[in-house]
Copies of this chain bind each other. A is one copy, B any other.
Amino acid sequence: MSLAVRRIAIIGMGLIGGSLGLAFKAARGGKIEITGIDTNELSLIRARQRGAADSVTADSKAGAAEADMVILCTPVLQAAALVKEIAPYLKPGTILTDTCSTKSYLIKEIAAVLPAGVSYVPGHPMAGREKSGIEAADSTLFCDKWYILIPPANSDAAAIEAVRRVVGWTGARITEMEAGRHDRCTALISHVPHIGAAALVNLLSYAEDKDSSIKLAGGGFRDTTRIASSNADMWADVCMTNAGPIADSLDKFSQIIGEVASAIRRGDRACVHGFFAAAQERRDELLQLEQAVTEQPLSNGR
């Protein structure tokens, strides 16, 4: 049975929610109806002006009550709280999904409050920008990017199929992954690099030569710390809800940094050279593998 999805409620009309709305409308036009939900009135006005939603409301319960599909696009702790609020108002058959960066925590929280007849299919688009908010939203944000679905073991196949179909409208590449693995992988490739970039910026602000350093901080520093300009609320939530994998990876990262510092102090050029050569070789390998994987036909894609 194929579930029809005509009315979609997007909760959180920021960069991700707004971009989903724009992408859905670009692909489906009048065949779907999008309700944009946010507590920020200005975001709602702009979401409608930009065409990311057909109608808007600050009332998440009323907005979600009529939807065939509800997509949570808020920071993860807000998403968990919102589901508790809206759960009693969802009609049977509603499909719930989200775009949050950490999954094990949210799956556990939502399982505890989900009404019978409502399916939850967790999602995570691997796309973002330096800027946040509805003004930064872009209908092509997800094109050719990975969009991971993380369905728990007991998930409803028709609900997964429906989320795949809707996500497919964005032009994203869809894949599935188990929640624990998702959280460990994203800690490594997204959360820890993000914390590292923020730490580099904060390091600079402690420096005695701050002004000269700023003057010289050129393209390399700007690129390396680009992701340090993103939303603090979202990232604080990510850290709170994926604490174990992130803290473990930070420990390992700190250990690697400590080993390099020791090798530098004792003048061990061979060790330091090996560290850089390994990174160079591995990054070139990663880029090649990434390209090979990206060019493979997707076993789960459509």
Chain A residues proximal to chain B, CB less than 8 Å: 126-128, 145-146, 148, 175, 177, 181, 184-186, 188-190, 192-209, 212-218, 220-233, 235-237, 239-240, 243, 246-247, 249-254, 256-258, 260-261, 264-265, 267, 269, 272-273, 275-280, 282-284, 286-287, 289-290, 293
Contacts and interface: CB of A to CB of B under 8 A. Distances in A.
Contacts of A222: 287
A255 to B, nearest CB: 9
Copies of this protein, total: 2
Given A195-B257, A257-B196, A146 B215 contact: yes
Given A232-B276, A261-B251, A189 B204 contact: yes
Q: Which 7 residue pairs are nearest across A and B when measured between Cβ atoms?
A: A198-B279, A232-B276, A236-B273, A250-B261, A232-B277, A201-B279, A185-B213
Contact of A186 (B201, B216, B232): B216
Contact of A218 (B127, B246, B260): B127
Nearest to A259: B199
28 contacts: A146-B218, A177-B212, A184-B208, A186-B216, A188-B207, A189-B216, A192-B200, A193-B224, A198-B276, A198-B279, A199-B253, A200-B253, A201-B279, A202-B256, A203-B252, A203-B253, A203-B256, A204-B282, A205-B278, A217-B290, A222-B287, A232-B277, A233-B273, A239-B264, A243-B265, A247-B261, A247-B265, A253-B257
